[in-house]
Amino acid sequence: MNRNRLRHAGISLLLLLGGIAGSIAPASAKSGCLACHKGIEDIRDNKSVMMTMIKGLGAPHGDSEGCVVCHGGNPMETKDKAKAHKGSPKKLAAAKGPQTFYPDPGAMDINKFTCGQASCHQGYPDRLEKALMNTEAGKIQGNLHTWGIKEVQNHKVPWGNYDVKDGDGPVPSVGTPEYKAYMKDMMAAHKEQFPASLKQIPQPSVAEIEKDPKLAGFTYSRQQCQRCHVTVKGREKRGDYRGQGCSSCHVPYGTEGLYEGNDPTISKTEKGHLLTHQLQATRKSVVKTSHAEYSGIPVESCNHCHNRGKRIGVTYQGLMEFPYGSPWNAKGSKQPKLHTKKYLFISDDLHHQYNQSRPGNPKGGMLCQDCHTTIDMHGDGNIPGTTLAQVEIECQDCHGTPEKYPWELPLGYGEEFKKDLSKSKARGLADAPLQETAAFATVYDKADGYLKTTRGNPFGNVVRKGKKVILHSATGNDFEVPVLKQIKEEGSWKSPNAEVAMSKVKKHNESLECYTCHASWVPQCYGCHVQVNYGKDKKGKAYHDTDWIASGTKRNADGSTAESTLGVKGIQSPGKVFETRSYLRWEDPVLGINGEGRVTPLMPGCQVVYTVIDRNNKAIALNQIAKSEDEREELGQKRTPLGIDMAPVQPHSVQRKARTCESCHNNPKAMGYGIAGGVFQTRYVEDIVEDLIDQKNGKPIAKPGNYKIQIPKIEDLDFDWSTIIKDGQQVQTVGTHWPLSRALPKEMRDAMERTGLCMGCHREMSNAELWAKVSTPGQLTDEQHIEMLNKMLKTYAESKGK
């Protein structure tokens, strides 16, 4: 069935459902919902197919505007707000529409009666329930592994935010036959990363935590880490306002949380409201405000959640948190807090940059959804345990390699998991977009065919035109994508360095992620010092804070949760979390191996050092770090790595100018040896006292009780936070999710290390006679150095030929 027939069939079915509901005279704007909400924006453009369908179903229920189709309620009641916002037309409810009034129709549990009702987005609510945006299974596993919780060791993923079960087996509910076959094989090979079910993350009692302080990690997760999943509405802070469920992404909320629409019942000064009563989604779903017009889902909507953890949302914008808030603003104040933090601008991802488009491309940046697919966002009906389990795309899917166009690559390229794909057939192109999304997405002309993801699904917005690749952005722009094989054939490299790194050194393409070089900065928040305090504050009141899991578990019939009403904090649990860190960096990220087996940037994941205060305000665990016995066993080494984690990451900070060769090959930090080779920050294992010190023995001169410890010790941390290799042993965890993730192996480090390169020539400066023959007065520039070495190489080659 083509998309037009599919749409017409949807309209016919909705009208049929309306007819079943009975013939009721349509309400006028004065007698229906608009009697109070006059001026409110249509949820979609009035001429769109979606709006036609909504109004077609609403009219027979006395609601010509269709509000009842999503919100339920009683459109015939115009005088009593409580009565109007109650119940739902009986026959609409019987037809699996709204069962009662829903303030946010996108909310989890009830979105199957709204967004997911017949001929709308059926299947999406079920997929979203099992997807990472709702379960956060990987986040839970990674965090609790750092606390030393045994149930999540050896890559096991037992817990999610809520109980969930994959009831339809391992074959995905959406995707092409190629994709489903690919995922079936992937799941068979990585059973731990694709659990068949998840149990809700537990909450031990305070008594249990006092007996085993590492269990405070559960409080930390439930009060801090888990506040961003789509069942809950989240904290009401600047930059964090959002809806629930489908509305989390598809309803616009501004950073300030202020309404700019025309509904007289919604305050324009109270923070926490949607920006406008419209849906944001694809290129065709245009959102119009009083002074702006846009399409697609703004990056900032994603950043309501993606601002901590991996921080990929704010990183994509070029932002990294820092403590100072400088420079001063016009009022003499520091910058306003965003996501409760202050930020430093480093450099945004090249795909985000507005003013630096490639020649021939329109001005403007790309949205997250321009690369990420419906499966990346909504899931495929199975339960992924980690981001890698759900996300189906690789850089090479659009850019190819210097040797092959994207359509010439085999499925699985870029996530080989150490498999040999040399004899695999080319993935080719697709003739149609993914069937499950064609009725809702903007459908673009296929040209020579739609490109495919590494797992076999078509990109509905990326097509081949001859040797060119065209990406249709949801913003309305069309971009020509730089294709590496085309660049090689044309010889249009930006520099010799680029040609050597990407084309001549074959090992780079075989073993590195593209962003290993191009993500030249990564936000690095070293040392996550967590205090979980179950004691009392200065006023003698026991500490409590919002438990996002308990709050999200209490779900009302109208879709609201215990915390979702504006101004309500939700269910509180004992304890309160306080966090700080050791230091921040952004330059020269450490390198390691990711779960796919490729070299990747690393960033501090959960480098948790925990302190737990009991109900008597006594520290029962002080600056403790767990150990990773499972990591030691997997590595087969004597030393047990600490549980602090350096996580493999796609940081979303790609730059046109890649890292220099020296930033990896001549950089001990990049190879895992620590900043400057690990010579700094080596006294964490002892208390540092700043007072009069006897320099003969390093002890305080003042008697005990008359001096204070300036820097308390952290037992076992005998290296700086960026060190992952010490004395040839891996000393901290590198990734908790996948078996292949680890530090760079010795043979790779030995092959890439070039720290002694300069001394190949300059050690002869001690031989005055020899040096006089080869040197000239003055200093050589970098370019002259390169030319001299090149000349020496050619001279050596000539001598070998004689």
Q: What does 413-457 look like in DSSP terms, one character per residue? A: TT--TT---TTSPP---BSS--HHHHTTSPPPP-TT-EEE-TTS-
d(CA 318, CA 346): 5
Question: Any idea what the Cα angle at residue 632 is, between residues 631 and 636, rounded to 5°?
Answer: 120
Task: Kindly report, residue by residue over 778-790, the tens digit of the pLDDT.
Answer: 888 878 888 888 8
d(CA 439, CA 437): 6
- pLDDT category at 8 given cuts 50, 70, 90 is very low
Q: What is the mean pLDDT of residues 237-251?
A: 97
pLDDT over 50 (residue 5): no
Pairing relationship of beta strands 576-587 and 591-593 according to DSSP bridges = unpaired
Q: What is the mean pLDDT of residues 589-609?
A: 97
Mean pLDDT of the chain: 93
pLDDT at 2: 43
pLDDT at 7: 44
pLDDT over 50 (residue 486): yes
On the CB side of 120, CA atoms within 13 Å amount to 25
Please, are residues 159 and 140 in contact by the beta-carbon 8 Å criterion?
Answer: yes
For the four alpha carbons of 16, 17, 19 and 24, in that order, the dihedral sign comes to negative
pLDDT at 557: 97
For the four alpha carbons of 553, 337, 348 and 513, in that order, the dihedral sign comes to negative
Please, are residues 274 and 262 in contact by the beta-carbon 8 Å criterion?
Answer: no
Q: How far is CA 635 from the centre of its chain?
A: 28
pLDDT at 23: 41
pLDDT over 60 (residue 19): no
Query: Tokens 């003698």 identify what position?
Result: 540
Please, are residues 624 and 214 in contact by the beta-carbon 8 Å criterion?
Answer: yes
Residues 6+ apart with CB under 8 A from 368: 297, 299, 302, 313, 316
SS3 318: coil
Task: Kindly report, residue by residue over 187-209, the tens digit of the pLDDT.
Answer: 999 999 999 999 999 999 999 99
C-beta neighbour count of 632 within 10 angstroms:
17
Higher pLDDT, 4 or 212: 212
- pLDDT category at 776 given cuts 50, 70, 90 is confident
Higher pLDDT, 78 or 461: 461
Least confident of 1-5, 38-42, 333-337, 531-535: 1-5
SS3 787: helix
Task: Kindly report, residue by residue over 155-178, the tens digit of the pLDDT.
Answer: 999 999 999 999 888 999 999 999
Residues 6+ apart with CB under 8 A from 42: 51, 65, 278
Please, are residues 602 and 658 in contact by the beta-carbon 8 Å criterion?
Answer: no
Task: Kindly report, residue by residue over 285-330, the tens digit of the pLDDT.
Answer: 999 998 999 999 999 999 999 999 999 999 999 999 999 999 999 9
Please, are residues 85 and 104 in contact by the beta-carbon 8 Å criterion?
Answer: no
| Burial (Cβ within 10 Å: 0-12, 13-18, ≥19) of residue 506 | exposed
d(CA 461, CA 32): 40
Please, are residues 524 and 603 in contact by the beta-carbon 8 Å criterion?
Answer: yes
Question: Any idea what the Cα angle at residue 362 is, between residues 307 and 288, rounded to 5°?
Answer: 60
Question: What count of residues does the chain have?
Answer: 802
Question: What is the chain's alpha carbon radius of gyration, rounded to the nearest angstrom?
Answer: 29
pLDDT over 60 (residue 27): no
- What H or E segment, with its residue span, contains residue 545? strand 544-546
- pLDDT category at 764 given cuts 50, 70, 90 is confident
Tokens of 621: 């665990």
Helices marked H in 273-395: 299-303, 312-316, 374-378, 387-390
C-beta neighbour count of 98 within 10 angstroms:
24
Residues 6+ apart with CB under 8 A from 478: 362, 470, 471, 472
Higher pLDDT, 796 or 540: 540
pLDDT at 628: 97
Which pTM does this prediction carry? Answer: 0.93
- pLDDT category at 802 given cuts 50, 70, 90 is low
pLDDT at 30: 56
pLDDT at 20: 38
Please, are residues 529 and 609 in contact by the beta-carbon 8 Å criterion?
Answer: yes
d(CA 402, CA 413): 14
- pLDDT category at 439 given cuts 50, 70, 90 is confident
pLDDT at 31: 60
Q: What does 648-687 look like in DSSP terms, one character per residue? A: E---S---SSPPPTHHHHT-HHHHTS-GGGTTSS--TTS-
pLDDT over 90 (residue 633): yes
Task: Kindly report, residue by residue over 369-416, the tens digit of the pLDDT.
Answer: 999 999 999 999 999 999 999 999 999 999 999 999 999 999 999 999
Neighbour order of strands in the sheet with 159-160: 159-160, 197-200, 164-165
Whether a cis peptide bond, with omega within 30° of 0, leads into 704 is no
- pLDDT category at 762 given cuts 50, 70, 90 is confident
Phi, psi of 629 (to 5 degrees): -65, -35
613 DSSP β-pair partners = 533, 619
As a whole-number percent, the residues of the chain with pLDDT over 70 amount to 96
